[in-house]
Amino acid sequence: MPLHIETPLIESSSLGRPGLSVWLKLEALQPPGSFKIRGIGHACERHAEAGKRRFVSSSGGNAGLAVAYAGRRLGLPVTVVVPETTSARARALIEAEGAELRVHGAAWHEANALALSLVDGETAFLHPFDDPLLWEGHASLIDEALRQGPGFDAVVLSVGGGGLLSGVVEGRRRNGLETCPVFAVETEGAASLARSVEAGRRVTLETISTVATSLAAREVCEQAFALTQSHDIRPVLVGDREALRACERFLDDHRILVEPACGAALAAVSDGAADLSAFRSVLVVVCGGAVATIDTIRAASAALDEAA
Which of 89, 131, 123 is closest to 224 using CA atoms? 131
Average pLDDT, the chain: 96
Q: Give the separation between CA 301 and CA 31, rounded to whole angstroms.
A: 27
Torsion sign (Cα): 253, 267, 220, 178: positive
How much of the chain is helix, strand and coil, in % rounded to 5?
A: 45, 20, 35
Using CA atoms, how far residue 207 sits from 159, 188, 203, 211, 284, in Å, is: 17, 12, 12, 13, 28
CATH fold of 9-35+133-307, please?
Rossmann fold (3.40.50)
pLDDT at 107: 81
pLDDT at 306: 92
- Delimit the CATH 3.40.50.1100 region(s) of the chain: 9-35+133-307, 36-128
pLDDT at 79: 98
In this prediction, residue 61 has a pLDDT band, given cuts at 50, 70 and 90, of confident
36-128 under CATH 3.40.50.1100, yes or no: yes
Mean pLDDT confidence for 175-191: 96
Mean pLDDT confidence for 114-130: 96
Is the predicted pLDDT of residue 291 greater than 90, yes or no? Answer: no
Mean pLDDT confidence for 189-217: 94
pLDDT at 46: 98
Q: Three-state DSSP class for 100?
A: strand
pLDDT at 97: 97
Is the predicted pLDDT of residue 308 greater than 80, yes or no? Answer: no
Q: The pTM is what?
A: 0.96
Mean pLDDT confidence for 260-283: 97
% of residues, the chain, pLDDT over 70: 100
Which of 230, 270, 207, 211 is closest to 16 using CA atoms? 270
Is the predicted pLDDT of residue 60 greater than 90, yes or no? Answer: no
Is the predicted pLDDT of residue 109 greater than 90, yes or no? Answer: no
pLDDT at 216: 85
Give the end-to-end CA distance of the chain in Å, rounded to a whole number.
50
Is the predicted pLDDT of residue 289 greater than 90, yes or no? Answer: no
